[in-house]
Protein backbone atom coordinates (compact mmCIF):
# COMPACT_ATOMS: atom_id res chain seq x y z
CA UNK A 1 0.00 0.00 0.00
CA UNK A 2 2.79 2.43 0.85
CA UNK A 3 4.29 1.91 -2.59
CA UNK A 4 1.05 3.04 -4.21
CA UNK A 5 0.80 6.15 -2.00
CA UNK A 6 4.05 7.62 -3.35
CA UNK A 7 3.40 6.69 -6.95
CA UNK A 8 3.22 9.74 -9.20
CA UNK A 9 4.94 12.14 -6.78
CA UNK A 10 8.31 13.74 -7.24
CA UNK A 11 10.36 12.54 -4.32
CA UNK A 12 12.67 15.20 -2.96
CA UNK A 13 11.07 18.01 -4.95
CA UNK A 14 8.17 18.64 -2.59
CA UNK A 15 8.26 18.84 1.19
CA UNK A 16 5.37 17.21 3.00
CA UNK A 17 6.19 18.94 6.31
CA UNK A 18 3.94 21.67 7.65
CA UNK A 19 4.73 24.84 9.63
CA UNK A 20 2.28 23.99 12.40
CA UNK A 21 3.75 24.30 15.86
CA UNK A 22 6.91 26.10 14.70
CA UNK A 23 7.82 29.54 16.04
CA UNK A 24 9.56 31.60 13.37
CA UNK A 25 12.39 33.94 14.29
CA UNK A 26 11.27 37.54 14.89
CA UNK A 27 11.56 39.59 11.71
CA UNK A 28 11.60 43.19 10.61
CA UNK A 29 10.75 44.64 7.22
CA UNK A 30 13.19 47.13 5.69
CA UNK A 31 12.40 49.38 2.70
CA UNK A 32 14.81 50.14 -0.14
CA UNK A 33 14.55 52.59 -3.04
CA UNK A 34 16.58 52.78 -6.25
CA UNK A 35 17.34 55.78 -8.49
CA UNK A 36 14.66 54.72 -10.98
CA UNK A 37 11.93 55.20 -8.37
CA UNK A 38 11.36 51.54 -7.56
CA UNK A 39 10.58 50.83 -3.90
CA UNK A 40 10.52 47.39 -2.33
CA UNK A 41 10.65 45.76 1.08
CA UNK A 42 12.95 43.01 2.31
CA UNK A 43 12.45 40.90 5.45
CA UNK A 44 15.41 40.56 7.83
CA UNK A 45 15.87 38.97 11.20
CA UNK A 46 15.65 41.38 14.12
CA UNK A 47 19.20 40.37 15.08
CA UNK A 48 20.65 40.82 11.56
CA UNK A 49 22.81 43.75 10.55
CA UNK A 50 20.87 45.65 7.87
CA UNK A 51 22.93 46.32 4.71
CA UNK A 52 22.77 49.94 3.46
CA UNK A 53 22.50 48.78 -0.19
CA UNK A 54 20.52 46.03 -1.93
CA UNK A 55 20.02 45.09 -5.56
CA UNK A 56 16.71 46.40 -6.94
CA UNK A 57 14.26 43.66 -7.80
CA UNK A 58 12.85 45.54 -10.79
CA UNK A 59 15.87 46.96 -12.62
CA UNK A 60 18.95 45.43 -10.95
CA UNK A 61 20.54 48.73 -9.96
CA UNK A 62 21.81 49.41 -6.46
CA UNK A 63 19.01 50.51 -4.15
CA UNK A 64 19.62 52.54 -0.99
CA UNK A 65 18.10 51.96 2.41
CA UNK A 66 15.15 54.32 2.98
CA UNK A 67 15.60 56.48 6.11
CA UNK A 68 18.99 54.99 6.75
CA UNK A 69 22.62 55.89 6.54
CA UNK A 70 24.31 55.60 3.17
CA UNK A 71 27.17 53.20 2.53
CA UNK A 72 30.54 54.04 4.01
CA UNK A 73 32.80 55.81 1.57
CA UNK A 74 35.89 53.76 0.86
CA UNK A 75 39.09 55.73 0.95
CA UNK A 76 41.14 54.88 -2.08
CA UNK A 77 44.73 55.72 -2.74
CA UNK A 78 45.44 57.80 -5.82
CA UNK A 79 46.97 55.83 -8.70
CA UNK A 80 50.75 55.75 -8.67
CA UNK A 81 52.22 56.93 -11.94
CA UNK A 82 55.58 56.00 -13.43
CA UNK A 83 56.89 59.40 -12.37
CA UNK A 84 55.79 58.80 -8.76
CA UNK A 85 57.61 55.48 -8.64
CA UNK A 86 60.71 57.04 -10.21
CA UNK A 87 60.71 59.85 -7.65
CA UNK A 88 60.58 57.26 -4.85
CA UNK A 89 63.92 55.87 -6.05
CA UNK A 90 65.80 59.01 -7.15
CA UNK A 91 65.97 62.75 -6.52
CA UNK A 92 65.76 65.39 -9.25
CA UNK A 93 69.51 66.02 -8.97
CA UNK A 94 70.23 62.32 -9.57
CA UNK A 95 67.88 62.25 -12.56
CA UNK A 96 69.54 65.31 -14.09
CA UNK A 97 72.94 63.66 -13.64
CA UNK A 98 71.78 60.42 -15.33
CA UNK A 99 70.26 62.44 -18.19
CA UNK A 100 73.50 64.36 -18.70
CA UNK A 101 75.48 61.09 -18.79
CA UNK A 102 73.16 59.51 -21.35
CA UNK A 103 73.16 62.63 -23.55
CA UNK A 104 76.97 62.66 -23.47
CA UNK A 105 77.07 59.02 -24.62
CA UNK A 106 74.63 59.74 -27.46
CA UNK A 107 76.50 62.86 -28.58
CA UNK A 108 79.86 61.10 -28.54
CA UNK A 109 78.64 58.51 -31.04
CA UNK A 110 79.55 55.59 -28.77
CA UNK A 111 76.05 54.23 -29.37
CA UNK A 112 75.14 53.88 -33.02
CA UNK A 113 71.38 54.22 -32.90
CA UNK A 114 71.02 54.82 -36.64
CA UNK A 115 71.69 51.15 -37.48
CA UNK A 116 68.98 48.82 -36.35
CA UNK A 117 68.79 45.06 -37.12
CA UNK A 118 65.43 45.49 -38.83
CA UNK A 119 66.83 48.22 -41.07
CA UNK A 120 69.49 45.77 -42.40
CA UNK A 121 66.84 43.29 -43.55
CA UNK A 122 65.01 45.93 -45.60
CA UNK A 123 68.07 46.93 -47.60
CA UNK A 124 69.20 43.37 -48.32
Q: Tell me the DSSP string of 60-108.
A: -SEEEETTSPPPPPPP-PPPPPHHHHHHHH--HHHHHHHHHHHHHHHHH
**124 labelled ligand-binding:** no
**34 labelled ligand-binding:** yes
Count other C-beta atoms under 10 Å from residue 31's C-beta. Answer: 13
**56 labelled ligand-binding:** yes
Task: Report the alpha-carbon angle 93-77-34, nearest 5.
Answer: 155
**11 labelled ligand-binding:** no
Beta bridge partners of 53: 64
Annotated binding-site ranges for Zn(2+): 34, 38, 56, 59
Annotated binding-site ranges: 34, 38, 56, 59
Amino acid sequence: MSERALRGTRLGATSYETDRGIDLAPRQTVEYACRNGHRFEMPFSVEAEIPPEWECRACGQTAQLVDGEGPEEKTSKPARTHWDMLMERRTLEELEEVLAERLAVLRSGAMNIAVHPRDNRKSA
